[in-house]
Amino acid sequence: MTYVHRGDPANVDFNIGVLTANSLFHDLDLSAIIPADAKLVVLSVLVTENAGVHLFAFRKKGLVNTKNMNTNYSQFANFPYACNPLVVPDWNGIIEYYIQTGVWATFDITVRGWFR
């Protein structure tokens, strides 16, 4: 596989204003950002949760179980946490995300690049 660096986007791709934090999985459509032949996506995620430690996760669309996914936790209340999860998109460029219900001050997702 070959890694393709996205470049230098001016803004985050998704934020808490457009994401749903309700302890359920939701589709995240990356098709406007990644090419159809992307095999693996590298995300940059920055979160701040005001009420304590809460879970968030990413997985390939269509999976049912929760054992094979990229799982992260906010570390402390009012403390920024950053991570770079790797996620396999489906053939439409869609992944799934899960954000536990909480008081998210920040939840920013930016696509850093992808593998072909």
How confident is the model over 41-79, as pLDDT tens digits? Answer: 999 999 999 998 999 999 999 999 989 999 999 988 999
Distance, in Å, from the CA atom of 64 to the CA atom of 61, rounded to the nearest integer, reads 9
> pTM of the predicted model, to two decimals?
0.95
Residue with tokens 């990644």: 34
DSSP state of 64: -
Could you read off the pLDDT of 12-45 as tens digits, one per residue? 999 999 999 999 999 999 999 999 999 999 999 9
Distance, in Å, from the CA atom of 25 to the CA atom of 57, rounded to the nearest integer, reads 9
Determine the structural domain holding residue 82 and report its residue range.
3-115
Radius of gyration of the chain (CA): 14
Distance, in Å, from the CA atom of 61 to the CA atom of 15, rounded to the nearest integer, reads 20
Number of structural domains the chain divides into:
1
